[in-house]
């Protein structure tokens, strides 16, 4: 084997090692950028609207998505170049983080419409309590029907 070929193999080995380090570093950064578990479980607020708004803000994946994208990019490059001897651990970590980020996104989508829904429900219940939702006749709709039957 020529010296040039040995150098190329050595350089490829170094590049593969650096690529794996990049993937691992990006995965670590993605995990660190995820919200803390307590942030999506505990929320202090005076009312449901405050809890929902806090929860919605806490469900942001933020930089975790970008770091995960970087990890996937370098992982894909390494796989296509057949640079990794065994990358099943990296693949598993990427899949687990993708699932977590997807769960955050799904939960956030579910929360997004709830504050408006809860406000509308509150208003409807307040109207029902005061009778304001019974129409222009002040809630005498049923009495008019009784008179017509006599």
Is the pLDDT at 137 greater than 70, yes or no? no
Give the start-to-end residue ranges of the domains of the chain.
Answer: 3-131
Burial track 19-47 (b if 16+ CB lie within 10 A, e otherwise): bbebbbebbebbeebbbeeeebeebeeee
pLDDT value at residue 62:
87
146 vs 128: which has the higher pLDDT: 128
* pTM of structure: 0.73
HSE (CB half, 13 Å, CA atoms) of 18?
A: 6
């Amino acid at each position: 084997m020529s010296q040039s070929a040995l150098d190329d193999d050595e350089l490829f080995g170094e590049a593969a090692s650096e690529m794996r380090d990049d993937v691992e570093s990006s995965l670590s950064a993605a995990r660190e950028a995820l919200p803390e578990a307590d942030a999506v479980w505990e929320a202090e607020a005076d009312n449901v609207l405050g809890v929902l708004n806090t929860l919605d803000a806490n469900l942001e994946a933020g930089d975790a998505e970008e770091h995960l994208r970087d990890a996937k990019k370098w992982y894909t490059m390494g796989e296509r170049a057949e640079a990794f001897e065994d990358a099943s651990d990296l693949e598993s970590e990427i899949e687990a983080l993708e699932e977590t980020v997807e769960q955050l996104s799904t939960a956030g989508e579910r929360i997004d419409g709830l504050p408006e829904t809860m406000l509308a429900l509150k208003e409807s219940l307040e109207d029902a309590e005061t009778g304001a939702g019974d129409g222009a006749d002040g809630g005498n709709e049923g009495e008019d029907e009784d008179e017509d039957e006599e």
